[in-house]
Amino acid sequence: MTLKTPVYLDNNATTPMDPGVLDEMLPYFVERFGNAASRTHAFGWEAEEAVDIARENVAKLIGAHPQEIVFTSGATEAINLALKGIHEPYFNKGAHVITVSTEHKAVLDTCRSLETKGIEVTYLPVLPNGLIDLEHLEKSITKSTTLIAVMYANNETGVIQPIKHISRIARKHGILLFCDATQAVGKIPVDVIMDGIDLMSFSAHKMYGPKGVGALYVRKKNPKVELYAQIEGGGHERNMRSGTLNVPGIVGFGKACELCYEYMEVDTNRLTTLRNLFESKIGRLGGTVINGKNAPRLPHATNITFENIDGEKLIFEAGNSIAFSRSSACTSATLEPSFVLKAMGLSNEQIHNSFRFSLGRFSTEEQVDYAINVISKIVKQHRHEGNY
């Protein structure tokens, strides 16, 4: 069989939907179209039952109770709900948030918005490997600190933060921990109890589910987290997020979680092997650096700096053959260099020549071999032609 191109190596931007997820969703568009909030007839009951099953599957994947899941339109909304919704109930304690300079824009921009409302925000730097310094974190805590917001795994580098250690620090000081786990859930084991997380955002389209649906985990006990709704209306989702539920999307999200639960080990083993193969073969070119290499990383992703090439030309020349990216999908339209790599200490030139390759459940060895060949050829050509 001939290989279909371009080969997709941008699964951190979004994943293709698993066909099993689509099958599960289809009946909920036309036949079973009921509103999950309709209590007076079978159409509503049927939709509500489907949402309940999905809620159980979503909760199971992260070790939560189904009633701790609030469905949203995606991780961005979940992040906004967590960071904005948490503050009012805790204002008497203070108003100081600690976050990290390498968080996703959805967290950073929401924090900037909190600052305009008088909330103080500390943006922690990262070490050259992308990890935060735990001592620095603890020293940044003040009497007013209400919340620590640290992502589970970075979207550009795949670097995994030591969430268990961070939560121990948060607990010790009586501070809540919010974790944006959009890139981690479904890919590596995430357990809100074992990890000590109080609020957590994640999204279906990063784990072979549909776009436009996600969730916020809100801890119900030890401690019970108080949250104010940001979208008001019919009081859906236990008054935390009003609006008619996206039943087909939620059904798909539930199925995606069920499949991730089932396939996680197999996917992880296979993708680790493929990613390592990619890194070692690309490494043979010489003059390459894997960003975050000595930190724990997601099994399917890599971020590589190529020395002595023209990054712009590489993207352009490889673009028809391979789909990959320079930083996150959200910032790929801007010409600004990646703030994540900048925070890790890379120069503008190094950032310009750094790329993210992220594999997924449907990536094959043949695709990876093909990508290695395409990239290697272009890099060799640049070095041959250039005055590097």
289-315 in b/e burial notation, b at 16+ Cβ within 10 A? Answer: eebbeebebbbbbbbbbbeebbbeebb
Q: Which residue has the tokens 């724990």?
A: 296
Q: Is 187 in the site for ligand PLP (CB under 6 A)?
A: no
C-beta of 305 vs 328, nearer to ligand PLP: 328
Residue nearest to ligand PLP (CB): 74
Q: What are phi and psi of 353, to 5 degrees?
A: -105, 25
Asked if the bond preceding 16 is cis, omega within 30° of 0, the reply is no
Residues ≥6 apart with Cβ < 8 Å to 321: 5, 6, 7, 370, 371, 374
- Minimum Å gap between C-beta 301 and ligand PLP is 11
Structure-block tokens of residue 105: 């824009």
**Binding-site string for ligand PLP from residue 287 to residue 326, where x marks contact by CB under 6 A and - marks none:** ----------------------------------------
Question: CA 176, CA 285: separation in Å to the nearest integer?
Answer: 46
Q: Given candidates 11, 57, 76, 110, which one binds ligand PLP under the rule CB under 6 A?
A: 76
Specify whether 179 is catalytic. Answer: no
C-beta of 95 vs 184, nearer to ligand PLP: 184
Contacts with ligand PLP: how many residues (CB under 6 A)?
15
Q: Is 246 in the site for ligand PLP (CB under 6 A)?
A: no
Question: CA 96, CA 123: separation in Å to the nearest integer?
Answer: 11
**Binding-site string for ligand PLP from residue 201 to residue 240, where x marks contact by CB under 6 A and - marks none:** --x----------x--------------------------
Q: Tell me the helix, strand and coil percentages in the chain, rounded to 5.
A: 40, 15, 40
Q: Is 267 in the site for ligand PLP (CB under 6 A)?
A: no
- Minimum Å gap between C-beta 75 and ligand PLP is 3
CB 176 within 8 A of CB 170: yes
Neighbours of 98 (CB within 10 A): 27
Q: Is 254 in the site for ligand PLP (CB under 6 A)?
A: no
**Binding-site string for ligand PLP from residue 25 to residue 64, where x marks contact by CB under 6 A and - marks none:** ----------------------------------------
Q: Is 75 in the site for ligand PLP (CB under 6 A)?
A: yes
Catalytic residues: 330
Q: In the complex, which residues of this chain contact ligand PLP (CB under 6 A)? A: 74-76, 104, 106, 151, 155, 180, 182-183, 203, 214, 328-330
